[in-house]
Structures are given as structure tokens and as C-alpha cells.
Chains A and B, each alone.
Chain A
């Protein structure tokens, strides 16, 4: 009976063409350009194949693109840890009988709808060493010794970025966790309680196994977001102080602005390869778990 309602397979052709035209083709074209000397002068000088020159330049240049790649990984790992774990526990808390949980959910979710530009402006003001809200507040409550150069001290700047990123992202992650939690039948918890399970037992043997789907979704979103991070860094530090918080995308942006399009696409291609490898790994891992 359902057979009649299923759309024919050729319906997929149009989206497939659009996908190939606007996603696959530009991506492949980008990879192709990374092997050329494409630049702002190409219209005059022509486009030339340069082999692996751009890639060799990236890994041997004294401009230290390597630190940008390292920082990208660092951001991906730490930003996910500082968002996923707290968001999970907040979701568990807000799923329970907490008074005013609707208001908490809204408050936590609100930052994620703010544009990055606004977040950048607000937090740059808050983090200002002399006049910022944070240092002023610390001084006002007698904690002046905790004052920091939040965006200019090499030892603190990443903490500030992770803090702002977590502030913005926790609500979104929490919402996905909440959806996952709500799909767990209450009977499982009741059965576990009858068996004498405490909070941690229920968390370990009921909640976590049942939440695999939403954990994976958050992980995939978080990892892809982390690898292509740009906005939050750009608006808060623009890769600074010096080059301390440069990531792959900020370097790619600078190269593109300087008219070195070939080099820029080479950096982006490296990012594409990294994302693809990690993406394939996660998808395979997820498929395996689903089969199990």
C-alpha cells in the first residue's frame, strides 16, 4: 500500500545536480586551484600549475602555518569538552523537576541566537583590561588579584575564547541533549529504581546508552564547527595577540585578502582533507554503533 506513496528514485536527480553544482564542484575546483599560482594577478599573468609548491610553502614557511593547524585541533577538542560535558549535566538537571526550568532553558539558549559580531563587540568591551566589566567587577568584590589581560595575555587568551564559545554554544548543545533525554521512556528509570539503582547507576546504565544518538549528533556538529572555526576568533582576537590564536581559516582569510588565492585554497584543502577524514571516521563509528 505504501509503495504508491514512495517517490520515484529519479526525484533525487535535481537535488543531486544542485548539490554537485554548488558544493561538490566548487570544492573540487578549490582543490584544483590549490595546485596553481592563482592570485590577484592571474588575469594578467595567466594561471600556472605549480604542483605541490603551495603545500610545501605551508609546511616550510617561517610564517608558521603549522601553529594555525595545531590551534585548530586544539580548539576543536577543548571547545567540545567544555561545551558537551556541562551541557549534558545541565540538560539532565533541567529534565528533572527543577523549578522554573523553562526559564533556565530559555536563558541558556538565548546566547546561541546572537550573531558573532555582536558577541565580539560585547565581550571585547567586557574583557577590556582597564574599563571592562569583568575586571571592574572583580575589583569591586575584592578579587582584584584575579584581574587579567583577557584578550592580550598569551596565557589567558585561549581560556577567554573557550569561555565565550561555551557561553554561546552550551544552550544549543543542551537543547539537543534535552530532546534525547525526553525520548528515553520513563519505565526504564522506574525499572532501574526497583532494582536499587542510584542516580549514577541510572546515568551510567540507562541515560548514557540511550543518549548515544544525541551525543553523536552533538559530537559531529561540534567537531565540524571546531575544525572550521573562524567567526569567534575573528571577532575576539583576529588571530592575536600577535599570531597566538591563528587557526587555519584566519590564515586562509588573510592569504585571500592579500590576493594569494592559490595558497589560500591550499590551506582550505588541508582543512577539507582533515574534516573529511574525521567525518568518515565518525560516520563509520556511528554506523557500527547503530548496527550493534
Chain B
């Protein structure tokens, strides 16, 4: 065989492999399409939709129906399928951890029901914000996007919701969310987002109850009691409070989750902070809490190298009994037991810094929005309705091993843990009115990481407590200026 023949053969082989590659891809798509098509046909009994028929069907998509049961629960039905979404693609941009696998079954049913496909773009958490901002600014945003929302986040993160978000005002599913959560989904009187999130105790002290019993320790309710508990645990060579400072976002929770105590100490503080008539700086209670935190750090109660330790090994530390407490969600108890197989029992108590006795109420959470520039607005609306049906909500909860409940006004089977029920029974209901500091005050959450870094500097002695607070004021003022907030003018 001469060189030319060999070359010709090679080129033919390469071209064939290229075509084969394309072919297999198409085949996969075809398979998906055919598997979806019968399901769609079965649901709607509709003939294959032509463009015309689809357009007609869209206008006829009188959408979902809503019922309210006698106990006040909402029942949303999915949008009727007339083949109007056949072959369309719905793209979703989300940060890792916000949807995980818990939406997979629902998305799959959505695809089967409407004969469409869903392109889920999951972005690593640390890159998400940059990618979203760039997509919004460039007009290349997927049909649905998510943000970590709170009552002030729409205006500070999305900035211009009228320009970027589909207005869902009057949507049937609005009341699926409790009123407190609706505030995180609205800007002015317009509804833009849907927040389906759990209502478990978040970032309270999780402790090894068995270990406490063995050492004869009582659950501390004040800072002094907490210090004394830490003394005794530390004397046994065990880290009293595991703090993963290297994560950069966890340690400052101990300051922000107890917002209620600052408000109690200075009634009207939240309003004053939001109206720019009060500052973080010189707030005695805040300084007291920072100093207490530093004292714990100095005494080694947060771990020998808490600043350089991340949370990778946290559940093992509990399982190995090398730590006794940590700030975590209630669902973390289940994770410790599953990860380590420990038979120890765990419980929860309120973060006792500043003698706190208030519950960390937090109406914030990952929230999804429809992108206004989408070409599939009806499909987006159908997806929101679909997610809010009782079947989907139950499915989402059942596919969320780390959730025990969903905070919705829909009658679904919740799976509260006994530890959660026990803990909630100890909380004074009158101490649940104030939300956590980071979501109860404007522009605070945006500087979460900066505050965390400042706290570390303070603990290492290169900053003063009041300077940490002053920096927060400076940052908030900067954000307010950027937002054109009249209170800061």
C-alpha cells in the first residue's frame, strides 16, 4: 500500500469516526426524545404538535388550577398539557447544593409530561455569583436562574428585577410559601421568585448528648455556663467547639445567628440599621459577643487550629469523639450518624454567646426566578406550577436526605426528627420573632466573607473588635451608595 492510499484510508476512518460520534450523540437524543414522546402523548392524548397547534395550545394553556383545602393548605395542579411545549428546552442555572438530586425525579416527570427537555447547569458555588452576574449583564441567562435570597437580596443581587425577572404577581403558587418566605421572593409588591426550602433549625449548637451525660454536663444557657462546659470538655482532651474557620463562611454564623439578642438589647436596632440611624460600630452587645468569641479562640476551645481547619472532617470528629459541639443544622445529626455509624445521641441548643436565648429565624434560602429574556416564558411558568404541586413537593422532600421538612402551606408528609421536635419544644415561641442579623438588615449578607476574614484578624490580634464592626458599616454604606439608597445620602 503506498502512502497516498494509507493517507486516504486514515482520512476516511477519521471522518467516519467523527460522523459516528455525531451519530451516537444524535441517537442518544433521539432515544430520549422517543422515550419522552409516548409519555407526553399518553398524558395529553394529543397529536404531535405543529408550530401552529403549539401556539394555539399556549394561548389555551389556561394553566394550573388552585384549590384551598379546609385546613388552609393550598393544592396546585400542573398546567394542562396540550402538546404546547413539545420539543422545547428549558435551561436552569443553579449553584451546586441548591437543587442537587432532589429535583431529578420532578424534572424527569416534567420532561415526560410535556415532552420537553431540561438543561440543568449546575455551577460550583464559588463561581456561581460571577457567572450569573455575567449572564444577566450579557443577556445570555438561562430560562430559570437561582439566587440565595432574603428580603433584601432581589434588589442587591439581581439589582434590576423588572428588567431581568418574569413578573409572577398573582400566580396561584404564591401562597404555597409561608408569608415570611414570600418577602424573599418579592420586590415592592411584585412577585418574582419561588422559594421552596426547609424550616429546620439552622446553625444552632449541635452537641453530643451521650458525651454530655457521661461528663455530667448540662446544656448551657448563658455564656458563663458555656465557658464552664468548654473548660470541662477541654480538660478531657476533647475539642469543645469544632469551628471550621478555613471554610471562610462558617465561623461568623456565631455572630449573625443571634441577631435577636442584639435587637432585644437595643429595641428597634434592625430598623435603625436599615434606616442608617444606627451602626454596627460601638454596639456594646456586638462588641461583647466578639470578645467572647475571641476568648474561646484564645483558650483553644474552638480547636487547636480552627482558622486553618475546614469542615471536611467534621462528622468524623464527632464520630471519633474528638469534638463535642459544632454549629450545624439539625439534619447534620443524621449525617453524623450515617457517616460514622456512631451510636451516640445528639441534641441541639441555642448559640449561647451574648447570653442569647433567641431562635435563629431565617426566611432566606435558595430561590428560583424566571429570566425575562427567555423565549419559553410559558414553559418557565409551567415549571414553577409543576414544582408547586403536592406530588412534586413530596418528591422533592423524599429525595432530600438532608431535609426533614419543607416550609410550604401544602399538605405533604413531613419527616421531622425527634431531636428537632425536642429542641423546638425548648424554644420560647416569643423569641422567634426576630430574624437573623444577616437577612434582617440590609446590605449585611453581601459582606459575609469580609466580616469572617475580619473576625479572624481580630482573633489573631491584628484588628480591634470595633474595627471589625466599623468595616461592616463601611461596606454597607458602599453597597447603599451603589444601590442609591436614600437613607445613606
* Residues of A participating in the B interface, judged by any CB pair closer than 8 Å: 37, 39-41, 43-45, 61-63, 124, 127-131, 149-154, 238-244, 254, 257-260
* Bound Cα distance A259, B129 (Å): 11
Contact A130 B478 (CB under 8 A): no
- A130-B305, A240-B456 in contact; A39/B474 too (CB < 8 A)? no
The 6 closest A-B pairs by CB, nearest first: A242-B457, A152-B308, A129-B305, A152-B307, A242-B456, A39-B482
Which of B129, B159, B450 has the most chain A CB within a 10 Å cutoff? B159
Contact A260 B308 (CB under 8 A): no
The answer to whether the Cβ of B16 comes within 8 Å of any Cβ in the partner chain is no
* Residues of B participating in the A interface, judged by any CB pair closer than 8 Å: 129-130, 133, 137, 159-160, 163, 245-246, 248, 304-305, 307-309, 313, 446-447, 449-450, 453-454, 456-460, 462-463, 467, 470-471, 474-475, 478-479, 482-484
- A129-B309, A149-B308 in contact; A154/B462 too (CB < 8 A)? yes
Supply 23 A–B pairs (Cβ within 8 Å), ascending by A: A37-B482, A40-B482, A41-B482, A43-B137, A45-B484, A62-B470, A62-B474, A127-B308, A129-B304, A129-B308, A152-B245, A154-B462, A241-B457, A241-B460, A242-B457, A242-B458, A242-B462, A242-B463, A244-B457, A244-B460, A254-B450, A258-B478, A260-B478
Contact A240 B482 (CB under 8 A): no
Distance (Å) between the CB of B293 and the closest chain A CB?
14
Contact A40 B159 (CB under 8 A): yes
- A44-B160, A131-B313 in contact; A154/B474 too (CB < 8 A)? no
Identify which of B130, B307, B453 contacts A257 (C-beta below 8 A): B130
A130 surroundings in chain B (CB, below 8 A):
304-305, 309
Determine the residue in chain B with the shortest Cβ distance to A150. B308
A41 surroundings in chain B (CB, below 8 A):
159, 482-484
Contact B309 A63 (CB under 8 A): no
A63 surroundings in chain B (CB, below 8 A):
471, 474
Determine the residue in chain A with the shortest Cβ distance to B449. A254
* Bound Cα distance A130, B305 (Å): 8
Distance (Å) between the CB of B133 and the closest chain A CB?
7
Which of B309, B458, B467, B484 has the most chain A CB within a 10 Å cutoff? B309
* Bound Cα distance A244, B456 (Å): 10
Contact B482 A259 (CB under 8 A): yes
Q: A62-B471, A154-B460 are known contacts; what are 7 more A-B pairs with Cβ within 8 Å?
A: A61-B474, A151-B246, A154-B462, A242-B457, A258-B447, A258-B479, A260-B482
A242 surroundings in chain B (CB, below 8 A):
453-454, 456-460, 462-463
* Bound Cα distance A244, B457 (Å): 8
* Bound Cα distance A131, B308 (Å): 11
- A62-B470, A242-B460 in contact; A151/B308 too (CB < 8 A)? yes
Contact B482 A128 (CB under 8 A): no
* Binding site secondary structure of chain B: helix
B482 surroundings in chain A (CB, below 8 A):
37, 39-41, 259-260
Which of B137, B305, B447, B463 has the most chain A CB within a 10 Å cutoff? B305
Determine the residue in chain A with the shortest Cβ distance to B304. A129
A241 surroundings in chain B (CB, below 8 A):
245, 307-308, 456-457, 460
* Bound Cα distance A37, B129 (Å): 21
* Bound Cα distance A244, B453 (Å): 9
B479 surroundings in chain A (CB, below 8 A):
258
Determine the residue in chain A with the shortest Cβ distance to B447. A258
* Bound Cα distance A38, B308 (Å): 36
Identify which of A39, A240, A258 contacts B453 (C-beta below 8 A): A240
Distance (Å) between the CB of A40 and the closest chain B CB?
6
* Bound Cα distance A242, B306 (Å): 13
Determine the residue in chain A with the shortest Cβ distance to B454. A242
Determine the residue in chain A with the shortest Cβ distance to B307. A152
Contact B307 A62 (CB under 8 A): no
A150 surroundings in chain B (CB, below 8 A):
308
A39 surroundings in chain B (CB, below 8 A):
482
* Bound Cα distance A153, B461 (Å): 12
Distance (Å) between the CB of B39 and the closest chain A CB?
41
Distance (Å) between the CB of A223 and the closest chain B CB?
28
Distance (Å) between the CB of B486 and the closest chain A CB?
13
B447 surroundings in chain A (CB, below 8 A):
258
* Bound Cα distance A258, B451 (Å): 13
Contact A152 B467 (CB under 8 A): no
Distance (Å) between the CB of A149 and the closest chain B CB?
5
B467 surroundings in chain A (CB, below 8 A):
62
* Bound Cα distance A43, B457 (Å): 36
* Bound Cα distance A62, B478 (Å): 13
A131 surroundings in chain B (CB, below 8 A):
313
* Bound Cα distance A260, B475 (Å): 11
* Bound Cα distance A242, B133 (Å): 27
Which of B450, B456, B459, B482 has the most chain A CB within a 10 Å cutoff? B482
* Bound Cα distance A240, B462 (Å): 12
A124 surroundings in chain B (CB, below 8 A):
246
A153 surroundings in chain B (CB, below 8 A):
308
Distance (Å) between the CB of B249 and the closest chain A CB?
11
* Bound Cα distance A252, B150 (Å): 26
Distance (Å) between the CB of A75 and the closest chain B CB?
18
Determine the residue in chain A with the shortest Cβ distance to B303. A130
Distance (Å) between the CB of A13 and the closest chain B CB?
31
A239 surroundings in chain B (CB, below 8 A):
453
Contact B474 A240 (CB under 8 A): no
Identify which of B159, B449, B456, B462 contacts A44 (C-beta below 8 A): B159
Contact A149 B307 (CB under 8 A): yes
Contact A243 B474 (CB under 8 A): no
Contact B462 A244 (CB under 8 A): yes
* Bound Cα distance A3, B450 (Å): 62
Contact B460 A238 (CB under 8 A): no
Contact B453 A149 (CB under 8 A): no
A43 surroundings in chain B (CB, below 8 A):
137, 159-160, 163
Contact B159 A152 (CB under 8 A): no
Determine the residue in chain A with the shortest Cβ distance to B162. A44
* Bound Cα distance A128, B453 (Å): 19
* Bound Cα distance A194, B246 (Å): 61
Determine the residue in chain A with the shortest Cβ distance to B458. A242
Distance (Å) between the CB of B415 and the closest chain A CB?
34
* Bound Cα distance A45, B467 (Å): 31
Contact B457 A243 (CB under 8 A): yes
Distance (Å) between the CB of A118 and the closest chain B CB?
15
* Bound Cα distance A259, B474 (Å): 15
